[in-house]
Structure formats: C-alpha cells, structure tokens
Amino acid sequence: MLLRKHFESSPAICRVAPFAIFLLLTFCQGKFFAGSEYWFYLAKTVVGAWLILEMRPFVEEMRWTISVEAIAVGVGVFVMWVGIDPYYPKLGELTAMLGLGKTGGAEPFVWNPHLEFGRNSIAAWSFMTVRILGMGLVVPPLEEVFYRSFLYRYIARPDFQSVPVARFSLGPFLFTSTIFGFEHSQWMAGMLCGFAYQGLVIQKRRLGDAIVAHAVTNLLLGVWVVRKEAWQFL
C-alpha cells in the first residue's frame, strides 16, 4: 500500500523505482551462494510482476498494443540479434580491448540450468520456463516504461510528462538507445534494438507497440536459447 501511494504521488518514481528494484535484484544474481543466479532470477521475476501490477494504474501508456508493425519489429530484432552475434566483440571483450576491464582470471558464468541441476531435470526445465516468462512478460513493460516513457522524455525535458511519446528528439533518441544497448553484453544488438523500439513508439505514437515488440523478441530469443542451447545470449 505504501509503495502504491509513492507511485500515485510521483510519476517519476512510478516509472523509475520498479526498474531500479529489478536492476538491483539482477545485480544480486550470483553474489551470495552457488546457484543464486537462478534463485535471484526467480525472485526478481516474481517481484517484477508484482511491481507491474502496482504501477499499472498510474502509468496510462503502459498498455500492451498488438499490431502488425509491433510483431514485425519484434521478429526482425530477434533475427538481427542472433544474426549479427558472431561479427562484433561483446561487452566484456570490448572493455578488455579498451583496457577498461579485467583480462584472464576465472571463466565468466554461463547460465545453463542443465549443468546446474542435471540435464532435463524438473528443476532445470522449471528455471528455463521462469527465464522465458520473465524475459517475455516482465522485462518488456519494466524496461519500456523506464527507457521510452521516462528516460527518453526526461532527457528532452525534465517535465517529462509534457513531452509526447511520439516526439522525435535526436539527442534523447541516441542517448537512450546507447544506454539501453550497454545494459546488455550484446551491446551493438542492444543499441539497434533500442533504435527499433524507440522508432516504433514514435511511428505508432504510443508505448504499447514497443512493449509487444520487445516481448516478441525476448520470447523468440528465450525459446531459441533453450532449443539451441545457445546460453551465451542470456
């Protein structure tokens, strides 16, 4: 109830706090005990779903909108994400090349429930299901509301609610998509993805199409990862 009051009283908190909480739980993955990557992903998925329910009454533009363009962009971004993957260094490799990150050391964690819980075990399939549902249903509204409803408009003008979501501003367009890109290990695909989703918001004059496009991309990517065991995408 207290959280909902804060959401109701502050449009900025309502759009920023859920994403920040989700990001904090993401940071906690793998920091506490062996296998905590999986349990914290489950926790943040449940908490994220609850936060969406709490913020939904106060974020009018957070309405899923199915359209041909949204589905086409979602599928196109998925194809692009997988297709360009071999052709550029990922974020860890890039920072190492620039002398900004560590080289050598322990092997990076690879999210693979088959290795952690046993191939085709109930636990492995349960965590893979949670991962796909989290990617497809929880991440899109939280990220789209933060990046394209709040951050894009806030950069254009601190009184962000006075800025229509359909307004094109080059600076916010480039900055928001760049930040969105570097949130991912596949930073280049992430930036192109940000351009596509932001362009969709501007073209359709609403946020809901971008939420659907984002969901389509993530659901396809999640299924692809599980079927192909291409864990590097997670």
Q: What would the mean pLDDT of 13-32 be, rounded to a whole number?
A: 94
Cα distance between residue 133 and residue 170, in whole Å: 33
Structure tokens at 138: 């929880």
Cα distance between residue 19 and residue 26, in whole Å: 10
Checking if the pLDDT of 102 tops 70, the result is no
Q: What pLDDT is stored for residue 33 in this prediction?
A: 85
* pTM of the complete model: 0.94
- How many residues in the chain? 234
Query: Nearest Cα to 92, choosing from 3, 198, 182?
Result: 182
Contact, 188 vs 84, CB < 8 A? yes
Helix, strand or coil, per DSSP, at residue 59 = coil
Cα distance between residue 100 and residue 71, in whole Å: 38
Checking if the pLDDT of 90 tops 70, the result is yes
DSSP state of 64: -
1 vs 91, higher pLDDT: 91
Q: Which of 111-120, 137-146, 148-157, 169-178 has the lowest mean pLDDT?
A: 111-120
Domain ranges of the chain: 63-233
Structure tokens at 148: 């394209």
Structure tokens at 85: 């993957």
Cα distance between residue 182 and residue 135, in whole Å: 17
Cα distance between residue 174 and residue 176, in whole Å: 6
Contact, 226 vs 81, CB < 8 A? no
Contact, 174 vs 152, CB < 8 A? no
Q: What would the mean pLDDT of 181-208 be, rounded to a whole number?
A: 97
Give the tens place of pLDDT for each residue, 23-70: 999 999 988 888 899 999 999 999 999 999 999 999 999 999 999 999
